[in-house]
Structure 1
Amino acid sequence: MQPKRPLRFIVSGGGTGGHIFPAIAIADELRRLRPDAEFLFVGAKGKMEMEKVPAAGYRIEGLWISGLQRRLTLDNLSFPVKVLSSLFRSQQILREFRPDAVIGTGGYAGGPVLYAAAKQGIPTLIQEPNAFAGLANKWLGSKVDKICVAFPGMSKFFPSQKLVITGNPVREQLLERARQMEADGSNTVLLMGGSGGARSLNEAMAASTDRIAARPDVRWVWQCGKNYLDAFHECETARLPNVTITAFLDKMDEAYAQATVVIGRAGSTTIAEIEYLGKPAILVPSPWVAEDHQTRNAEALTERNAAVLVADSEVNEKLVPTALELIDDPQRRQALGGAAQEQAKPGAVKRIADEVLQLIITHPEKSDIHAAV
């Protein structure tokens, strides 16, 4: 038997919090299971992962990569060069770091590094969080070894023999802290626009000054996103004494603990965290995402009366009144939260980490580190 040595993992997830935080959650769980393991994240230069990953305690390398625009733009002319550059750099990173497995949760950088790893015979795993698979993951599906998903019926996108239903990874330590915190007793609406922000949600808040002012007993925590803070932080709604506006929520556990009602997009991470906590929620699917996958995500809850759906086109008229109706209806809030919690898949992050370790154990070229696993 060969001597034991620390396992090495490359993790790639970026562009949005919905890719970054699941990636960090998986790394945290692998570090819990293998405290001596070594980690390297790979992200896209200039994207938020270059800030959030180091803040979580991990080293990150940035690739010169961006997405292909769906419309004809000058940026698309550089796309082939960026892909070739990122593939070359990914191969360098793999040679230098020598990972035992490479894990992807979505984002521009995942394509090159996972493709290069698969070509080199390194165990690879991707996590697809949505009910409708993204283009990059669909392309990688035929090349990687394992695909972890949250919804049944994903064999229409991926080879069925590679699929395992694990649920979506969430920051369980953070959410458990939120559970243990005591709310201050106030009625609080937590509006989350995502890491970049959601223009329509912000505009709905700005258009609802009178409605929000008329209910001083209801506190609003308005996460507008870094892209919109300058545009909205001086609007009349933001200056109300019962409204707190912020670009990003650094203490997410406290925000969740205080929330009586949660408003957000229907991204997979938001939904998984709402389910885990059993929070009554209003979901506003983004109309701008590929294949309208957020609507499909939301319908997985609304069909079970586990959330309220408000169309993006109707937020100005319906969003704030719907939130106030829920504040005034504790029985409905309890029903929504209970139904949401029934959909939760706690332990998803451990199931994914176990799949990664199992890949290493069973990989024919990794017999030299079986003792370490």
Structure 2
Amino acid sequence: MKVLIAAGGTGGHIYPGIAVAKELVARDAATEVLFVGTARGLENKIVPDSGFQLVLIHSAGLKSVGFVGKIKGLSVLPRSFIEARHLLKEFRPDVVVGAGGYVSGPVLLTAHFMGFPTLVMDSNALPGFTNRRLARFVDKAALTFNDALPFFGEKGIVTGNPVRRDFFDVPTRTPSEPFGLLIFGGSQGARAINNAMIEALPLLRETGSPLRITHQTGEADFEKVREAYINAGAEGADVRPYISDMVAEFEKADVIISRAGATTCAEVAAAGKASLMVPLPSAADDHQRKNAEAMAKEGAVSIILQSELNGASLAARLSDLLADPDKLAAMGIAARRLARPDAAAVTADLIEGLKRA
């Protein structure tokens, strides 16, 4: 079987595609998987590092790029379709998969009109701009949240978001003092979360609950945050610009403070962790808030909107959670119920089914 996967931009689009590709190859070593992306995205590092071949086409976004950006994106579209058509004629895939990013648009649309079976993957409660517009053209949609089903009708199937197997293997912890607190805002950090935590430190010390803190700050805020912990008498906190082994830190955490990107939500669910999420307000279509709300609806997440985030609100919400270990445990159980260890396998089943159809 030959599978073409269009994925680009962020790790949240690329890693699920990688997980599905690995599942397909594990089932049949003769399976050929080819990724297609653009020259600007993280796919240029992640895909080759994962052992898969990547080809590049020209493509540009049309959403949240301003007037000039839209004009540029529209001007690139004809070239995108021509290059996608050339690639499809040359590779002749059995199935074409769109894992996310604006590169998916021209590739899946061209594949549809050339008669190739198509599947789109979407990991957000509100499907992305490109995927919403592809909904009428694709054959199947592999979704993470039930909330996304109405956008795809009978084509949509909730498969879960494929994440690394290691997160599912994180053992269940019984929350107890000193409570493990893991703070991160993505690989670049999150300044709003960093600043709120700096303000919250003296307030948290007043509560008397002993904490074991690991804080990923991002490079830009590292020195400022590290000094703030020292000045607050929390020299024992593990403050780093970047955490390379996130699974190990999940294992030690009782509570996670984070953004609400699709990959973070999936990893929190897979590991079965209680979390306090601060959705990124500038995320396209406010999709992070919708992700967090979908998890909060099931009792897995507590939400603080960034407009309400400061040291006092963060300290108060965190203190309430830490004062109730039973609630922390229940949130972790609720999170794990949302996880789908078989997400990559179910998505691979859909791909194989499209080939046979």
TM-score by length of 1: 0.83
1:199 has 2:199 as partner = no
Match of 1:59 in 2: 53
**1:316-335 equivalence runs, <5 A:** 316=310, 317-335=312-330
Match of 2:253 in 1: 259
Match of 1:3 in 2: none
Deviates more, 1:321-330 or 1:162-171: 321-330
Amino acid at match of 2:343: A
Give the superposition deviation at 1:336. Answer: 1.2
Amino acid at match of 1:284: V
Unaligned runs of 5+ residues in structure 2 are none
**SS in structure 2 of the partner of residue 220 of structure 1:** strand
1:223 has 2:207 as partner = no
Amino acid at match of 2:346: R
**1:221-370 equivalence runs, <5 A:** 221-225=214-218, 229-235=219-225, 236-237=227-228, 241-316=235-310, 317-362=312-357
Deviates more, 1:209-218 or 1:295-304: 209-218
CA distance in 1, matches of 2:180, 2:296: 22
CA contact (8 A) 1:233 1:245 kept: no
CA distance in 2, matches of 1:89, 1:217: 58
1:29 has 2:23 as partner = yes
CA distance in 1, matches of 2:205, 2:83: 53
Unaligned runs of 5+ residues in structure 1 are 1-6, 363-373
Give the superposition deviation at 1:108. Answer: 1.7
CA distance in 2, matches of 1:272, 1:99: 29
CA distance in 2, matches of 1:233, 1:94: 49
Amino acid at match of 2:326: Q
**SS in structure 2 of the partner of residue 230 of structure 1:** coil
Give the superposition deviation at 1:280. Answer: 0.8
Render the CA deviation track for 1:328-362: whole Å, top value 9, x for unaligned. Answer: 53222112112222233331221111000010011
**SS in structure 2 of the partner of residue 78 of structure 1:** helix
CA contact (8 A) 2:119 2:140 kept: yes
CA contact (8 A) 1:208 1:237 kept: no
Give the superposition deviation at 1:69. Answer: 4.7
Amino acid at match of 1:343: L
Q: Choose which of 147, 150, 175 in structure 1 pairs with 2:144.
A: 150
Amino acid at match of 1:169: P
Give the superposition deviation at 1:320. Answer: 4.3
- Overall identity of the aligned pairs, in %: 34
CA contact (8 A) 1:131 1:151 kept: yes
Distance 1:223 1:44, change over 3 A: farther
Give the superposition deviation at 1:301. Answer: 2.4
| Greater than 6 Å deviation, 4+ residue runs | 180-183, 212-216
**SS in structure 2 of the partner of residue 46 of structure 1:** coil
Give the superposition deviation at 1:216. Answer: 9.9
Amino acid at match of 2:254: T
Amino acid at match of 1:35: A
CA distance in 2, matches of 1:151, 1:69: 22
CA distance in 2, matches of 1:335, 1:181: 11
Q: Choose which of 168, 174, 182 in structure 1 pairs with 2:161.
A: 168
Corresponding pairs, count: 351
**SS in structure 2 of the partner of residue 242 of structure 1:** coil
Distance 1:328 1:346, change over 3 A: same
**SS in structure 2 of the partner of residue 161 of structure 1:** helix
CA distance in 2, matches of 1:305, 1:279: 12
Match of 1:75 in 2: 69
CA contact (8 A) 1:128 1:148 kept: yes
CA contact (8 A) 2:63 2:129 kept: no
Deviates more, 1:231-240 or 1:109-118: 231-240
Distance 1:8 1:180, change over 3 A: farther
Match of 2:97 in 1: 103
CA contact (8 A) 1:189 1:323 kept: no
CA distance in 1, matches of 2:67, 2:245: 38
Distance 1:270 1:231, change over 3 A: closer
Give the superposition deviation at 1:186. Answer: 5.8
RMSD: 2.9
**SS in structure 1 of the partner of residue 243 of structure 2:** coil
Give the superposition deviation at 1:211. Answer: 4.5
**SS in structure 1 of the partner of residue 309 of structure 2:** helix
Amino acid at match of 1:341: R
Give the superposition deviation at 1:321. Answer: 4.3
CA distance in 1, matches of 2:89, 2:200: 55
CA contact (8 A) 1:216 1:242 kept: no
Amino acid at match of 2:220: D
